[in-house]
Amino acid sequence: MMNDSAAATDAEVPAAPAAPPLTGGPVGGAAWDPPGRDRSAPGEPPEETSGGGRPEQNHQAVQAPQAEQIPRYEQTQWPERAHRAEQAPDGPEAVPEDERPRGAPAHTGSRPPSYPAHPLGCPSVREGDEFASLTPHVLLDGYTVGGLTVRATSVRGDSHNWEGGCRQDAMAVTRIGPPEAEMLLLAVADGVGSARYSHLGSHDAVRLAARQLDRAAEGVHAALRSGDDAALRELAGRAVAGVVAGLRAEGQRRAYEAERPYQDGDHSTTLHVLLVPTDPHIRERALLGVGDGGHLLLRDGTWLREGTGDEAVLDTRTEALPHAYRKAGARILRAMAGDVLLLGTDGITNPLTQKDPAFRTHLAAAWGVGGAPSLSDFLWQAQTRAKSYDDDRTVICLWEGSA
């Protein structure tokens, strides 16, 4: 169970009513952007329609290539599978379920969001922002140490997919500290959408946080062993101050090299970190952060959100690094075997805590039963779509094993 000081403040997310069925794949099974479509003006999102949730399309049917034009990959590369396919009856039911493509991510509600479920473009190196042009659409990571299992992904949101913009979220999964005080560091950062270089700020923030907290690892580890919240808050404050100094130094260096003025607000980003000792006998975890997004706990199939007044890790919506923050929120959480700790940007925490019970129910079932999924399954589950939530989405989940 949690600390006495924390237990009284846990707020259970309202119980979800019966959720509508989840469906997956493109609406109507049609391709999103066939040749001849009458495109909207660049930068304008698709409009809702009554005909299935996609922008109006005006195109002619695309002729599929004849069967004989398509080489049979199974015959040339996988003879065993080709033989099995030849022996099986025709139709989709002939393909084993675990070999069928998943298609588009699942969605809540009666129809998917109008945005396409795949990227339509990406920034160009010629546009002058090399970092943005080389930032991948998706990051996927995972790790297992002892009884701890981590799954992590950062994906570009629907609006950035539509506009061809850069993913402004960032994440880090690594180990810090010496062997006797080793911890997993899980970090997420969300570049503020209106800030011109916030994608640089978010990526710098998670890297700098790992560096600063590695230096403070012995102190943080000792604070967790003794349950000393005050010591943790002091160490967290120093670490975040170091991140702020690093963000400014990096931003000023880039501005100097590009011969442009530097402003703090151009690099605004949130930051949230979860520190987990790898010693299985220590069940205390450190949470620290600035800004929206943050931490949720999945326990016994129910999502719980954490917070202790001024030290809340969630709901500091107007705060961002390097300039617009009062202090870093920090606290100790005692985890239990079977818990799933979620750290995420607001692209995942908002639909989990706001008005979409089907979204909560779906991810509670996916991540709260049967242990950690495979990396590919986790990515597909994390991309579950919900109308009105089109931001970048970064989520790291930690499955707690037994001591």
The arithmetic mean of pLDDT across residues 172-197, rounded, is 95
Rounded to a whole number of angstroms, the distance between the first and last alpha carbons of the chain is: 14
Domain ranges of the chain: 71-99, 128-400
In tens, the pLDDT along 201-253 reads 999 999 999 999 999 999 999 999 999 999 999 999 999 999 999 999 999 99
Contacts of 83 (CB under 8 A, 6+ apart): none
In tens, the pLDDT along 156-168 reads 988 888 888 889 9
Q: How confident is the model at residue 69 (pLDDT cuts 50, 70, 90)?
A: very low
Q: Please give the residue that has the higher pLDDT: either 294 or 12.
A: 294
The arithmetic mean of pLDDT across residues 8-29, rounded, is 45
Q: Please give the residue that has the higher pLDDT: either 188 or 87.
A: 188
The arithmetic mean of pLDDT across residues 341-356, rounded, is 92
Contacts of 395 (CB under 8 A, 6+ apart): 152, 153, 188, 342, 343, 344, 345, 348, 382
Q: Is the Cβ–Cβ distance between 285 and 335 less than 8 Å? A: yes
Specify the fold of 128-400. Answer: Phosphatase 2c; domain 1 (3.60.40)
Weakest mean pLDDT among 60-69, 263-272, 293-302:
60-69
77 is written with which tokens? Answer: 């590369």
